[in-house]
Chains A and B, each alone.
Chain A
């Protein structure tokens, strides 16, 4: 595929009015969901997933990706005006954006966030195409051993970079893979771990499991606390769009944020939050006024907002290029496609390039729509925060359960989702990685199948299997990522221990001084 073809294909799809209807609905829903604290892209995907099953795949992909764009913009509004981060990635927006708002410069913060989010999204689309097309070309060199290597890399990168605790991350992936393997063995066709239950003889529905692990778990966790979003006050009255002179200092930071966001977003397990943090630090290092960061820096807002939105395009690179979902929302995107009959893997988009065109069309149309309406929507979206939090949680749980039922009209799937939600609750609370478990559930069968068929192709020799050049390369990178993740944790623990020792010494000194006095 040539570099320009996906862009032209995506632009061509914009002529379809149905794409626009789906994108408008998705973007508005995304902005509302983003403006509500605690409802990120993954949960927003979980809520609308059943609706995508009745859409043609192209429309469904465009719809889901427009939600990502909406969430990326929506979460900055309460962050700036109320100091409430819609999701962890918006915390940096709170630091600088809310500081500007408190100084009476809310319009400046909103304007820069608006331009950075949309500019970052727009520029990241060609970057995504430039990176995904060569990756898709590589797919022809991938057979079962290489696919096994890719899955290994996906798991280890997700665990090493995103999990709180490496051991718990590995346990989460193991649990997910094991659950994903329940049912018929892909080689021998014998049933495995079905305990005589007819319902799970051919496997447990992976979409129900993934929705439970990623969406219901977060809703159950949210129910631990009862409070109102309205406790925080904010208003956008009188906020006017900033003059170009005020925006100009943030433009280089937006550029850096876009590139960093796209690249970091493509790393399994990284996503919007590390992308925003790395861009923020880079912008501070390159800034002529680093002292303003954290106190209302326009460069800080520009860098992290651009990075957050650019990471939407970045996440799509391995998801569509190699069939490896790198985040919870991407697992759900692929889950929606499997319900439509697609098989996730390196050849998925090569065989169905329309999916890539749809992704570009969704991102592009949502950005154009927000460019036209986003500034006016900001004020309107504050109403989303005035919704009753408790009602939102209950409605979201009920809608998710009905959505799960709608997949196969099976009550058993609803029970599975609730059970997975309960397990996911404990995983979230105690540092296990729910996304790693969801990835395990989703690709577990293919993971095992690629190993067993790959071995069969290589005379049942592990040495031949692992020394195929591409497989060996991928496995070495995966191992490197695991070692780096473990080393990073050791360094962090040493730093914490040193800080603890310093604090202890300081306390002892002050105690001695008090005693002497």
Chain B
């Protein structure tokens, strides 16, 4: 576990906590009064996040603790030993997944899915027609048939909607 990133994550958590407390102060009280009220849970959760985040950050900066215990360094799920790991690759995949979710409606499932899969496979080192084109296209078609026919899920079709409607494949 990188201490620098742990510090950043802890500070981010503390910020979220403080933001939560600030945002909760704007919640209306409502007509019915009870000793807890609609804000208290957010104050408590926000307080725990802020205090906990600052505590972890202080530990990372060596404040208030004699030594940073080795057990702390072992926190979190470690990578496989002896194999290079790349955080940017994981972040790029997250960005790709986010782009897929944004593109799902306008581009449609049948266009967005193979594009996302091809991008993700290239990112993870796959090369060649079979790996980057055949797998995504085949998976997309099979999944579309399973979800739309067997499970009755209406997947978005984007620009293909009119064509599918004209062919009688969908009744929208």
Main secondary structure on chain B at its contact with chain A?
helix
CB distance from A54 to the nearest CB of B (A): 5
Question: B111: which A residues are within 8 A, CB to CB?
Answer: none
Q: How many inter-chain contacts with C-beta < 8 Å in the A-B complex?
A: 217
A402 near B101 with CB under 8 A, answer: no
- A residues at B contact (CB < 8 Å): 50-51, 53-54, 164-165, 167-168, 170-171, 174-175, 177-178, 181, 185, 187-190, 192-193, 195, 216, 220-221, 223-227, 388, 390-391, 393-395, 397-399, 401-402, 405-406, 409, 411, 414-415, 417-419, 421-422, 425-426, 428-432, 448, 451-452, 455-456, 460, 462, 489, 492-493, 496-497, 500
Tell me which of B16, B90, B151 contacts A223 (CB under 8 A): B90
CB distance from A215 to the nearest CB of B (A): 12
Which of B36, B84, B154 counts the most chain A CB atoms within 10 A? B36
CB distance from B79 to the nearest CB of A (A): 6
Complex Cα gap A452–B9 (Å): 32
Tell me which of B30, B83, B120 contacts A189 (CB under 8 A): B30
CB nearest to B118 among chain A residues: A394
CB distance from A340 to the nearest CB of B (A): 15
B9 near A178 with CB under 8 A, answer: no
A188 near B75 with CB under 8 A, answer: no
B153 near A409 with CB under 8 A, answer: yes
CB distance from A59 to the nearest CB of B (A): 14
B52 near A429 with CB under 8 A, answer: no
CB distance from B126 to the nearest CB of A (A): 6
Which of A170, A190, A195, A462 counts the most chain B CB atoms within 10 A? A190
B52 near A167 with CB under 8 A, answer: yes
A390 near B76 with CB under 8 A, answer: no
Question: A225: which B residues are within 8 A, CB to CB?
Answer: 79-80, 83-86
A193 near B6 with CB under 8 A, answer: no
Interface residues of B in 113-151 (CB under 8 A from A): 113, 116-117, 120-121, 123-126, 131, 135, 139, 143, 147, 150-151
CB distance from B38 to the nearest CB of A (A): 4
CB distance from A394 to the nearest CB of B (A): 4
User: Is the C-beta of B171 less than 8 angstroms from some C-beta in chain A?
Assistant: no
Complex Cα gap A493–B20 (Å): 33
B87 near A54 with CB under 8 A, answer: no
Complex Cα gap A442–B105 (Å): 28
CB distance from B120 to the nearest CB of A (A): 4
Please report the total number of B residues contacting A with Cβ < 8 Å. Answer: 80
Tell me which of A170, A171, A430 contacts B75 (CB under 8 A): A430
Which of A188, A388, A462 counts the most chain B CB atoms within 10 A? A188
A174 near B124 with CB under 8 A, answer: no
Question: B30: which A residues are within 8 A, CB to CB?
Answer: 185, 187-190
Tell me which of A224, A455, A500 contacts B90 (CB under 8 A): A224
- Whether A415 touches B102, Cβ cut-off 8 Å, given contacts A227-B80, A390-B121, A426-B9, is yes
CB distance from B69 to the nearest CB of A (A): 5
Complex Cα gap A57–B58 (Å): 48
CB distance from B132 to the nearest CB of A (A): 10
Question: B61: which A residues are within 8 A, CB to CB?
Answer: none
Complex Cα gap A455–B135 (Å): 57
CB nearest to B109 among chain A residues: A402
Question: A171: which B residues are within 8 A, CB to CB?
Answer: 13, 48-49, 52-53, 56
User: Is the C-beta of B160 less than 8 angstroms from some C-beta in chain A?
Assistant: no
Question: B155: which A residues are within 8 A, CB to CB?
Answer: 402, 405
29 contacts between A and B (CB under 8 A): A165-B72, A167-B52, A167-B56, A170-B48, A174-B48, A174-B52, A187-B32, A188-B30, A190-B30, A190-B38, A195-B23, A223-B124, A226-B83, A226-B125, A390-B126, A391-B121, A398-B139, A398-B143, A406-B147, A409-B153, A414-B100, A418-B97, A421-B94, A425-B94, A430-B75, A452-B36, A460-B34, A460-B35, A489-B71
B101 near A418 with CB under 8 A, answer: yes
